[in-house]
């Protein structure tokens, strides 16, 4: 039986948790007091390092290590960019945090700012999160009023500020360097690395960029200690993860589990099993950008290493489940259309490759596909992977190559029989 | 030549109140474009020129940035904007039927505006509410587990 281990979602049931009084009544901001009043900045970083906390936005990079890359002796301002630009299809955990538990994230932000010596926190919030932005702005005002933000926080001499910044509808801006370009007032184009944001980030100043869920986990790590956190999960994937599960399951939703629980347990014990009693055909383990795994892989443990070994990625922790009735060619077309639309256009392989792939999918679904199209698609995949400017190109090909490898016969059936997909609506051309 | 547009005084105030949060004026560009759409029907070239002047950014840069972001309306849209998700998790929960139903009810296709100018219908990418798919947004309000009945009710309640 797979159970949840709630950390960020521990207070899920508390009414009005987004209000600072409620959050404090449940122990909120005690970790901030402990960090600022009892610990040195270096001790906070050491604690987060020892906890094994890894970035929960997609890359899984060790958070404490990232913090330690920021030069301590750098003169002038340094920044924290909190990535609340949640847009990976299938992912909906950060929306819950910013709308329902924003103070956990803000407290984590302030602890990070204290540990690394950051003078301003920018929360880059997805433009479509109207409710989320209102909640974040209210939460920030409350934190200022209580003296957790602003000058001389809790009388410690440490000062930092927080600004909620809005995006305006661009998936690419979730990529860390594109987020910075957008924050600076530009088109959401990624920047070359190195220099890495830790040395030259926003406005060319040292910048830490962390995901909402990562930062929201920090207060509990400081509160309970690194050993508590490191004691959960697996040897290399320590701690917990909010899993967004959607698609063909009975109870789609967010479930917070320790790394290492079996995917099958998340699907059957937590999400109530397959929708309408259908059979599992396959699943995306970490969002639309991660290669699909077939039903035979459903027993694998949900941790970074096991999923990588199975040929995919844990990504943002979004499990999208589909049953035997699913038309995988149409599914791949939907996701390819998404990447073609969202490609920022900066580099040629991604800008051109995603559009060509979409054209080929439209041709196949309209009954005009050619058998050589499958090899053509795979060859375009090869031209995107590791050849695009940022990880977007890799993200765009996961569904294409994995569906051709796993379900080639379904593609061939479309092509050989000149089968035409009956659309319920016509997507807008772009 | 593009006509001269005077930005709403409230927008001026809004920008002024935020300038000291950033090291550069330009940093406010994306939020300002979004905020401007609340005071104007859409962000026309004239509005972009005025924003360029206000934030001391070249007008060509403002147009380039405005063009990049889908939430900045660059042409007139209906009084109410219906954005329905066409991405994977909604598709798996029969979202295509919901899109078709919206087209039927409104008598328009995706990407169009009703003749009376009340509604524009657009499909959008994942709205990050996949646990309650299918979903749609009407103006700033999110609707989850959308059914034909819910659509009739929502369209009926909006004037």
The 10s digit of each residue's pLDDT in A137-186 is: 999 999 999 999 999 999 999 999 999 999 999 999 999 999 999 999 99
A267 interaction partners in chain B (CB closer than 8 Å): none
SS (H, E, C) A294-346: EHHHCCCECCHHHHHHCCCCCCCCEEEEEECCCCHHHHHHHHHHHHHHHCCCC
Alpha-carbon distances of B106 from A218, B19, B77, B156, rounded to whole Å: 47, 42, 15, 11
The beta-carbon neighbor of A425 closest among B26, B99, B127 is B99
Mean pLDDT score, A117-121: 97
pLDDT at B46: 94
Distance in Å, alpha carbon of B89 to nearest chain A alpha carbon: 5
Q: Supply φ then ψ for residue A258, to 5 degrees.
A: -75, 145
- Window 41-80 of A, Cβ < 8 Å to B: 77
ipTM rounded to 2 decimals? 0.96
Instruction: Please judge whether B92 and A183 are an interchain contact, meaning their C-beta atoms are less than 8 angstroms apart.
Output: no
Interior angle at CA A232, CA A321 and CA A255, nearest 5: 30
pTM: 0.97
Distance in Å, alpha carbon of B109 to nearest chain A alpha carbon: 8
A331 interaction partners in chain B (CB closer than 8 Å): 88, 91-92
The residues, any chain, with a CB within 8 Å of residue A38's CB and separated by 6 or more, are none
Provide the 3-class DSSP secondary structure of residue A252. coil
Mutate to test the interface with B, among A57, A167, A246, A398 (most CBs of B within 10 A): A246
Cβ atoms of residues A330 and A358 within 8 Å:
no
Provide the 3-class DSSP secondary structure of residue B125. coil
What is the Cα–Cα distance from A398 to A90, expressed in whole angstroms? 15
The beta-carbon neighbor of B89 closest among A120, A247, A342 is A247
pLDDT band at A248; cut points 50, 70, 90: very high
B88 interaction partners in chain A (CB closer than 8 Å): 89-90, 247, 288, 320, 331, 334-335, 338
Domain A240-323 classification at class level: alpha beta
Q: Where are the domains of chain A?
A: 20-230, 240-323, 328-416
pLDDT at B1: 58
Q: Supply φ then ψ for residue A271, to 5 degrees.
A: -90, 10
The closest of A230, A353, A204 to B27, measured between CA atoms, is: A204
A129 interaction partners in chain B (CB closer than 8 Å): 128
B57 interaction partners in chain A (CB closer than 8 Å): 185
B26 at interface of A, judged by CB pairs closer than 8 A: yes
The beta-strand segments (E) located in chain B are 80-85, 119-124, 136-138, 141-143
Bond before A194 cis per omega within 30 degrees: yes
Query: Mind listing the pLDDT tens digit for each residue in A377-386?
Result: 999 999 999 9
Mutate to test the interface with A, among B48, B59, B88 (most CBs of A within 10 A): B88
Q: Where are the domains of chain B?
A: 9-68, 80-157
Per DSSP, the residues of B76-94 read ---SEEEEEE-SHHHHHTT
Per DSSP, the residues of A11-62 read TTT-TTTTSHHHHHHTTTTHHHHHHHHH--HHHHHHHHHHHT-B-TTTT--B
What is the Cα–Cα distance from A422 to A407, expressed in whole angstroms? 20
B97 interaction partners in chain A (CB closer than 8 Å): 424
Interior angle at CA B30, CA B25 and CA B33, nearest 5: 100
Mean pLDDT score, A387-414: 97
What is the Cα–Cα distance from A93 to A81, expressed in whole angstroms? 18
- In CATH terms, the fold of domain B80-157 is Glutaredoxin (3.40.30)
pLDDT reading at A428 higher than 90: no
Provide the 3-class DSSP secondary structure of residue A132. helix
- In CATH terms, the fold of domain B9-68 is Arc Repressor Mutant, subunit A (1.10.10)
Q: What is the mean pLDDT of each run of 10 residues along chain B (159 residues)?
A: 85 97 98 94 93 97 97 93 96 97 97 95 94 96 96 90
Mean pLDDT score, A326-351: 97
A318 at interface of B, judged by CB pairs closer than 8 A: yes
Greatest Cα pair distance, chain A, in angstroms, is 74
A369 at interface of B, judged by CB pairs closer than 8 A: no
Task: Return the residue of A nearest to B140 by Cα.
Answer: A130
Domain A20-230 classification at class level: alpha beta
Instruction: Please judge whether B27 and A254 are an interchain contact, meaning their C-beta atoms are less than 8 angstroms apart.
Output: no
Instruction: Please judge whether B29 and A167 are an interchain contact, meaning their C-beta atoms are less than 8 angstroms apart.
Output: no
Distance in Å, alpha carbon of B153 to nearest chain A alpha carbon: 22
pLDDT at B153: 95
pLDDT band at A427; cut points 50, 70, 90: confident
User: Residue A270 has what DSSP assignment?
Assistant: I
Query: Mind listing the pLDDT tens digit for each residue in A293-320?
Result: 999 999 999 999 999 999 999 999 999 9
pLDDT reading at A338 higher than 90: yes
pLDDT at B4: 82
The beta-carbon neighbor of B88 closest among A203, A252, A335 is A335
Mutate to test the interface with A, among B17, B25, B30 (most CBs of A within 10 A): B30
- Window 119-158 of A, Cβ < 8 Å to B: 120, 126-131
- Window 99-138 of B, Cβ < 8 Å to A: 99-100, 103, 109-111, 122-133, 137
The beta-carbon neighbor of B128 closest among A92, A165, A331 is A92
Query: Mind listing the pLDDT tens digit for each residue in A9-54?
Result: 999 999 999 999 999 999 999 999 999 999 999 999 999 999 999 9
What is the Cα–Cα distance from A105 to A94, expressed in whole angstroms? 10
Domain A328-416 classification at class level: mainly alpha
Instruction: Please judge whether A424 and B71 are an interchain contact, meaning their C-beta atoms are less than 8 angstroms apart.
Output: no
Distance in Å, alpha carbon of A94 to nearest chain B alpha carbon: 9
pLDDT reading at A430 higher than 60: no
Half-sphere exposure of residue A276: CA atoms within 13 angstroms, side-chain side: 9
pLDDT at A45: 98
Query: Mind listing the pLDDT tens digit for each residue in A199-227?
Result: 999 999 999 999 999 999 999 999 999 99
Q: What is the mean pLDDT of chain A?
A: 97
pLDDT reading at A252 higher than 60: yes
Half-sphere exposure of residue A317: CA atoms within 13 angstroms, side-chain side: 30
What is the Cα–Cα distance from A22 to A322, expressed in whole angstroms? 39
pLDDT reading at A245 higher than 70: yes
B24 interaction partners in chain A (CB closer than 8 Å): 184-185, 203
Cβ atoms of residues B90 and B130 within 8 Å:
yes
Task: Return the residue of B nearest to A185 by Cα.
Answer: B27
Cβ atoms of residues A102 and A9 within 8 Å:
no
A162 at interface of B, judged by CB pairs closer than 8 A: no
How many beta carbons lie within 10 A of that of residue A89, not counting itself? Answer: 29
């Amino acid at each position: 039986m797979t159970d949840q281990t709630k950390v960020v979602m521990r207070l899920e049931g508390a009414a009005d948790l987004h209000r600072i009084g409620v959050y404090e009544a449940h122990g909120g901001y005690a970790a901030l007091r402990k960090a600022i009043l009892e610990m040195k900045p270096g001790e906070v970083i050491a604690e987060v390092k020892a906890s094994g906390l890894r970035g929960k936005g997609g890359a899984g990079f060790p958070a404490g290590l990232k913090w330690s890359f920021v030069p301590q002796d750098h003169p002038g301002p340094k920044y924290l960019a909190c990535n609340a630009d949640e847009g990976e299809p299938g992912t909906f955990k950060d929306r819950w945090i910013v709308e329902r538990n924003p103070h956990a994230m803000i407290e984590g932000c302030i602890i990070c700012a204290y540990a690394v010596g950051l003078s301003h926190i920018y929360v880059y919030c997805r433009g479509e999160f109207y409710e989320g932005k209102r909640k974040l702005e209210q939460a920030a005002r409350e934190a200022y009023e209580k003296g957790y933000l602003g000058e001389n926080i809790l009388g410690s001499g440490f000062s930092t500020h927080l600004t909620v910044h809005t995006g305006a509808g661009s998936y690419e801006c979730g990529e860390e360097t594109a987020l910075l370009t957008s924050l600076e007032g530009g088109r959401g184009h990624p920047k070359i690395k190195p220099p890495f944001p830790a040395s030259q980030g926003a406005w060319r100043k040292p910048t830490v960029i962390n995901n909402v869920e990562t930062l929201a986990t920090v207060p509990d790590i400081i509160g309970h200690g690194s050993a508590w956190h490191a004691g959960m999960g697996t040897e290399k994937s320590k701690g917990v993860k909010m899993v967004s599960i959607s698609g063909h399951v009975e109870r789609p939703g967010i479930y917070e589990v320790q790394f290492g629980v079996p995917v099958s347990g998340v699907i059957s014990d937590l999400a109530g099993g397959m929708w309408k009693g259908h059979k599992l055909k396959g699943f995306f383990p970490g969002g639309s950008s991660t290669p699909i795994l077939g039903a035979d892989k459903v027993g694998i443990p949900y941790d970074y290493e096991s999923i990588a070994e199975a040929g995919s990625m844990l990504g943002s922790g979004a499990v999208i489940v589909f049953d035997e009735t699913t038309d995988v060619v149409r599914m791949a077309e939907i996701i390819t259309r998404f990447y073609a639309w969202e490609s920022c256009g900066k580099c040629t392989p991604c800008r051109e490759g995603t559009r060509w792939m979409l054209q080929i999918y439209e041709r196949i679904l309209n009954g005009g596909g050619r058998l050589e199209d499958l090899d053509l698609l795979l060859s375009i995949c090869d031209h995107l992977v590791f050849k695009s400017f940022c990880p977007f190109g890799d993200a765009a090909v996961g569904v294409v190559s994995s569906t051709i490898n796993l379900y080639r016969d379904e593609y061939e059936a479309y092509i050989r029989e000149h089968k035409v997909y009956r659309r319920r609506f016509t997507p807008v051309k772009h | 030549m593009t006509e001269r547009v005077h930005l709403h005084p409230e927008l001026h105030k809004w920008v002024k109140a935020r300038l000291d949060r950033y090291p550069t004026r330009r940093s406010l560009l994306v939020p300002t474009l979004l905020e401007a759409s609340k005071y104007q029907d859409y962000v026309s070239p004239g509005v972009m020129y005025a924003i360029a002047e206000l934030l001391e950014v070249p007008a060509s840069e403002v147009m380039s940035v405005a063009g990049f972001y889908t939430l900045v309306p660059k042409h007139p849209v209906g009084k109410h904007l219906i954005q329905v998700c066409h991405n994977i998790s909604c598709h798996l929960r029969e979202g295509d039927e919901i899109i078709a139903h919206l087209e039927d009810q409104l008598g328009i296709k995706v990407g169009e505006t009703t003749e009376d100018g009340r509604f524009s219908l657009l499909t959008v990418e994942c709205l990050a509410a996949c646990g309650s798919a299918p979903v749609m947004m009407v103006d700033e309000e999110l609707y989850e587990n959308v059914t034909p009945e819910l659509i009739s009710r929502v369209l009926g309640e909006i004037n």
